[in-house]
Amino acid sequence: MENSKGKHEDSLVSRWLIILLSAACGLIVANLYYAQTLVGPIRDELGLTSTAAGLIVTVTQIGYVVGLLFIVPLSDILENRRLTVCMLIVAIGGLLTSAYAPHASWFLIASLFIGIGSVVAQILVPFAAYLATEEQRGRVVGNVMSGLLLGIMFARPLASFTTSLWGWRAIFIMSAIVIALLTCLLSFALPERKPSSTVRYGHLMISLVDIWKRTPVLRQRALYQACLFGAFSLFWTVVPLRLADDFGMSQGGIAWFALVGVGGAIAAPIAGRFADKGWSQQLTWLAMAVAALSFLIIHLFQDQSTFALILLYISAISLDMAVSGNLVVSQRMIYSLGAEARGRLNGLFMSIFFIGGAIGSSFGGWTYTTGGWKLTSLIGTILPLLALGSFLIEVKAARKR
């Protein structure tokens, strides 16, 4: 049994704490995405090639995966509030280093630590699930995830607007200040949560392999989300380049485009509520189909017309909705597998699907340089279809058993 001040297993999580956790997750995870629409100006100032520019996003995601695998599992054995504060300090250091990086190598190293420190978001999401009862878990996780997803989606336009006014380095300085204030707030506001597990860190890491082997739901859901998030990262890494090259958009115009994607966050709480009612399978195939169609329409219409631009806006919203909706459904299923290993389950799930995202973003630079938007949008269509095919095979196999 875990110790937590002011928390009982049969209590309902308070509304103010949901709001705090939602805001915290959004502000923290936004650090992973500020550079996504700034690939152009960062590339130009730091002297990177178009192919290497994909590393600007990829390295941060690699850092996030490292944190998910080696830091998040610690939430099953260490006091969560203290762990949260320590990792946020790492993120602040990475942000300040990025802001003042004199050349590309310093920026990429700092980006790695931004990713590692930002895994705090994936300590707080299971924390919210722990505070919630079984009956409200889907709703609570959906609400917290909507905050996280809003952070992802607002990060891109905020970074672009800030860059258009003060240059790309300003967003990293601003974020460092915000995260420092958030660290102080969380250190006082979060309830104490000390897991009762006495497992040592080495055994904890070894147990990840066992959990992966004996948890088919985890493997399936991680694969589905890796494909969807790979398509998502591919889109948002390359679309700023297409908007600038084919439609002549400035950084401000790209910011307005990115702002449209914020609408996709509405899918998270809705998906959580329907998942609570037992609609997980239907939501899963729907999300995959919507993601595939989002890329297919912009693959078929890839000229420089106004109609093609409108389709890009529509795809930005529908793709974000598909990815966020499937994410909440998957997390609800995974968090229901066992409270004692929730940190490890979440770390494994998130690390696998962020590997998909890292592959998608790094692949984006190559596909755009090699085959332009035509090749990029084709790969983006294929990834969700792979997830859908795997899902349908699993459903068919389950019905035979």
Looking at the domain assignment, is residue 31 inside a domain?
yes
pLDDT tens figures, 344-357 = 887 888 888 888 98
Question: % helix / strand / coil in the chain, to the nearest 5?
Answer: 85, 0, 15
pLDDT < 70 stretches in the chain = 1-13, 50-51, 133-135, 137, 196-198, 265, 338-340, 401
Q: Is 290 a member of any domain?
A: yes
Residue 1 inside a domain? The answer is no
Could you tell me the residue range of the domain that residue 306 belongs to? 14-400
pLDDT value, residue 7? 43
Question: What is the reported pTM?
Answer: 0.77
For the domain that residue 194 is a member of, what is the CATH number? 1.20.1250.20
Residue 256 lies in a domain: yes
Note whether 356 and 225 are within 8 A (CB): yes
**Among candidate residues 364, 363, 340, 344, the one with its CA nearest the CA of residue 352:** 344
Q: Domain tally for the chain?
A: 1
Tell me if 83 is assigned to some domain.
yes
In-domain check, residue 358:
yes
**So what's the pLDDT on residue 72?**
86
- pLDDT for res 13: 61
Q: What is the pLDDT of residue 55?
A: 80
b/e string for 293-318 if b means 16 or more Cβ within 10 A? bbbbbbbeebeeeeebbebbeebbbb
pLDDT tens digit sequence for 172-222: 999 999 999 999 999 988 888 777 666 788 888 888 888 898 889 999 999
pLDDT at 196: 66
The predicted-structure confidence for 287-340, as pLDDT tens digits, reads as follows: 999 999 999 999 999 889 999 999 999 999 999 889 988 988 888 888 777 666
In a domain, 4, yes or no: no
CA 121, 126, 127, 133 torsion-angle sign: positive
Has residue 8 been placed in a domain?
no
Q: How far apart are CA 219 and CA 349, in angstroms?
A: 8
Predicted pLDDT at 118 = 95
